[in-house]
Chain A
Amino acid sequence: MLLTFALWAYVAGMAGALVLQRAERLANVLGFGLAALGGVCGVVFSVSSLAAGRAVTIAPVTLWSGPIPDVRLVVEADALSCFFVLIVSLVGLAISVFSLGYARTYYGRKNVGVLAAVFNALLLVTTLVFIAGNLWMFLIAWELMALLAYGMVSFEHEDREARQAGVLYFIMSHLDAACILLGFLMLAQAAGDFSFASLRGIGAKLSPQQRDAAFMLFVIGFGIKAGAVPLHIWLPVAHPVAPSNISALMSGVLIKTGIYGLVRVCFEFLGPPPMWWGASLLAAGTVSAVLGVLYALMEHDLKRLLAYHSIENIGIILMGIGAALMFLHTGHAVLASLALIAGLYHTINHAVFKALLFLGAGAVLHATHTRNMEEMGGLAKRMRWTSLFFLVGAVAISALPPLNGFVSEWLTYQSLLQGFGTTTSLVRLMFPLGGAMLALTGALAAACFVKAFGITFLAQPRSDHARNAHEASLPVLIGQGVLTAACVFLGLFPTAFLKLLDPLTQQLTGHQLSQQLTLANGLVLSDATAQGGTVSTLGITLMAVYLLPVPLALWAMFGRKARTRIAPTWDCGQRGLTPQMEYTATGFSKPLRMIFKALFRPRREVQREYDFSPYFATTLRFESHMEEVFQTRFYRPVNLWLLRLSRRLRALQAGSLQAYLIYVFITLVALLLFAS
C-alpha cells in the first residue's frame, strides 16, 4: 500500500515536473517534493515490513499482461527487495531534499523540469528493478534505468567531457544488459517460465558447465553495473560529470543494483555454489578494493576521487558476498550469514556515506565552480556545516569508529578471519590475504580522505573562487544532514539495525543471526562465535565522552603554568604565508605514488629555463602523468582490434544496392536450403 503510494508519488513528480517545465520554481518544488514524499513512504514501508520479519511482503502482482502469452509485468517484494527499497528510498529522500536547493543553480541555464522528471523516473525504475517479479519487468526496468542515467550523465551536454562519458556509459550499459539477458535466458529456458518464483533454485536443473557459464555472464553483467575492477572504467568517467545530485544517486544507489542482481542470482537462482564462484568474487572484491582506493589517492578531482572510492567500496561488499558463497559451499551456514550481513550492511553504509560525500562535493562545486581540489582550500571557515557533514562522511568511509563504515568493515574482517578454519584446501589462504588487503584499503582510504578533507576544507583558499565561497542553502544542508544522521545511527546502533536483516538472511541462507550478534542488550556487537571478537561503537563513543574530563583536568592542573605566546606561523624566513606554500594534493600523495610506482608508472617532465644558474630559474614547467593500466593494457588494444575488424568488414558496404540485395538473397536461399 505504502509502496504503491511511493511509486505513484514518483510518477506524479515526473509528470508534474514535465508539465510545469516552463515554471522552473514550481517544477523544482513539485518534482523534488514529490520525490521526497515517495522516499518517506518507501522508507516507512521497507522498515516496517523488515521489522515485522515478513519473508514475503507483496505476493506476485501482475501489473500488465500483454497480448502474447508469458509477456507480463509482475512485481513482488520479499525481504531482499525490501532491503534494497530501503536503500533507494532513504538515499532518494535525502537527495530530493538536497536537490530542492541544488536545482536552483540551474535556473535559467538548464531545464530544471526535465532534471526533476528524470530524477523521479530514475527513482521509480530503480525501485521497480528491486521489486521486479519476473524477467520482463526486471529487464525493462533495468534498461530504462541505464537509459535515464545516460541522459543524466550527458545532462550538461555542452561539455565535451560529459558527452564522451555518456557514450562510454552507454556502451558499457549495453554490454552489461546483453550479458544479463543471456544469463537469464539460460535460466528461463531451463525453467520454461519467466517468473522469479519459477527461477528459484533452477540452477540445479542445469549442467555444471551451463551453470558456470551463466554465473560468468552474470558476474560480467552485474560487475559492470557495480563497477568492479576490471569492468570499472566507465564509473570514474561517468559519475563525476553528472549533476551532483545525480552523481550521488548513481554512486549511492544505481551501482547497488549490480550487487542486488548478484545476490539475487547467486543465492536464489543458481543453486549450491561451487568453491570457485565465491573465491573469484572474493578475489575480484579484493582487487577492486585495493585498486579503487589507490587510484582515488592519485585523483585531484573531488568527484572523480569519490567515484574511485565507489569502486573500492563495491570491492569490500563483494568480499563479503564472495566469502558468504564460499561458506555456503563448505556448509558453514552461520558464517555465510555473517559474511552476507557484512556485505549487505556495507551496501547500505556505502549508499549513505557516498551519497553524503557526493552531496557535499556538490555543495562545494557550486560554491567554488571547480572540481579541482588544488583550487579549493579554506572552505571550513566559509562553509561550516558542509565541512562538518563532509568530515562525518569522510570518517565513515575511512572505517573509523564509531561510525557506520567501521561496523560493516569490522563484520567483514570477522567473517574473513574465521574463514581460514572452514576448509583445508589452499583456497583458505585467500581469507587472511583478503583481510590484510582490507586493512590496507582502510588505511589508504583514511589517507585519501585526510587529503580530500584537508586540501579542500583546511588551510588558506587557493583561488579566488574558493576565497569567495559561501555556505550552501538550507535544503542543501538538510539533505546532507539527513544522511549524516543516518551515518551516525548506523554506526552507533548496529544491533538495532541488524534486526532488520533477520528476514533477509532467513530467506537467503536460512539463518537469523541478530540474536547471536547482539550482546548486553544490544550495546555490544559480537561476531556470533563463542571465542570471537566483540566491539561496541556506542561504548567507544561513551568512553570518549567520559574520558574527556581527563585531559581537561590534566590541563587544569599542569597546563596553566605554561606560558602562552601568540606569534605568526614560522614561514621559513619568507615574508608572510601564501596559498602557494601550502601542501598540495599532488605533494600529499607523492609518497604513495612512489611506493606503488609499478602500478601507477608515473612520468614527470620538468622544463626549466634559466639565465646563469639552474638554481635561479626564470620559468618552470612541470607536468606529471600516470598510466591508467587497464585503459592502456586492456581496453585500448581491444578497442583497436575492434576498429581494425570493423574496417575490414567495411568492404561489405560497397555502396551498391545490388550488392546489398544479393547479401539478403543469398542469406534467404541459404536459410531455405538449411531448413529443408
Chain B
Amino acid sequence: MHPPTTLEISSQVIPLMATLMLVVQLLLIAQRMLLTNIRLFAIQSLLLSGIAAVVAFNYNASHVYVVAVLTFIGKVVFLPWLLNRLVHRIQIHQDVEPLLNAPSSMLICAALTLLGYSVTRPFTSLEKLGNNTLAIALALLLTGFFLMINRRKALTQVLALLTVENGVMLAAVALTTYGMPLVVELGIFFDVMVAVMVLGILVYRIRENFDSMDTGKLDQLKG
C-alpha cells in the first residue's frame, strides 16, 4: 500500500464533484422556490469551477485555470447576482409553477440519466477523468433541457439553460484532458453570458407587456 498520488486522488475527486453536480441538478428540479433555485445553480457552478481547477492543477494546463476563474466569476458570482436583482426588481411570485409535479419529474429525470449512461458507454475508455464524468455531463444536459420544458416562467427557463451549459462545459472538460481549446470555451462562455443578458432584458419586457412572466402567453404573438 503506497500513499495515493495526486492523480489518483483527483480521479476520485472529479467524479465525486460531478455526481454532486447531478445531485444539485435534481434538487433544482424538485425545488419550487425561485431564490433557492438561483442559489442551487450557484452551487452547481462552484462545483464545475472546482472540477476545472483540479483538472488544471493535475495536468498543469494553465488555460484551464482561466476557465475555472471565469466560471467562478461569471456563474457563481455575477449571474446569480444579476438574476437575484431581477427577481427583486420585478417582484414576482416565488413559486416556480412547474408543469409536472415533482415525483413524475424525478422519474423522467431518472430515465434521462439512464439514457445518458447508456449512450456514453462506448466512450468510457476515452475519458481521462474517471468513468462517469461524461455520462453525468450528458445527464446534466438532458435533465437541464427537461427543466427548461417543465418551467413556465422565463426566468426559470434561463436558469435551466444555464445548467445545460454547465453540462456542456463538464463534457468539454471530461472528454478531452485539457479541455477544449481556450478559444472555444471562451466562445461558449460569452455566448451564454450574452444570452442571459438578452433574456434578462426580454423577461423584463415580457413582464411589462403581459403583466406576467409566463412564456405560454407568448402565443398571443402568433400571426
Contacts and interface: CB of A to CB of B under 8 A. Distances in A.
B105 to A, nearest CB: 14
A655 to B, nearest CB: 3
Interface string B129-154: 00000000000001001101100100
Contact of B216 (A656, A665, A673, A675): A656
A155 to B, nearest CB: 31
B145 A668 contact: yes
A673 B115 contact: yes
What class of interface size applies to chain B in its complex with A?
Answer: 20 to 34
Q: In the complex, which of the residues A654, A661, A662, A665 has the most CB atoms of chain B within 10 Å of its own CB atom? A: A661
B122 A662 contact: no
B133 to A, nearest CB: 17
B124 interface: no
Contact of A672 (B99, B115, B121): B115
A657 B218 contact: yes
Contacts of B222: 653-655
Interface string A635-668: 0000000000000000001111110011011001
Contacts, number: 43
A601 to B, nearest CB: 38
A664 B215 CA distance: 17
B45 interface: no
Interface SS of chain A: helix, strand, loop or mixed? helix
Q: In the complex, which of the residues A653, A664, A672 has the most CB atoms of chain B within 10 Å of its own CB atom? A: A672
Given A655-B218, A655-B221, A661 B149 contact: yes
Contacts of A655: 218-222
A675 B149 contact: no
A661 B118 contact: no
Contacts of A675: 119
A673 B119 CA distance: 7
Interface SS of chain B: helix, strand, loop or mixed? helix
Contacts of B221: 655
B37 interface: no
B145 A676 contact: no
A545 interface: no
Contacts of B218: 655-657
Contacts of B122: 676
A665 B115 contact: no
9 contacts: A654-B222, A655-B221, A656-B215, A656-B216, A657-B157, A658-B152, A668-B142, A668-B145, A673-B115
Closest 8 CB pairs between A and B?
A655-B219, A655-B222, A657-B215, A676-B119, A661-B149, A672-B119, A665-B145, A656-B219
Interface of A: 653-658, 661-662, 664-665, 668-669, 672-673, 675-676
Given A658-B149, A665-B146, A665-B149, 14 more contacts: A654-B222, A655-B220, A655-B221, A655-B222, A657-B216, A658-B215, A661-B145, A662-B149, A664-B145, A669-B112, A673-B115, A673-B119, A676-B119, A676-B122
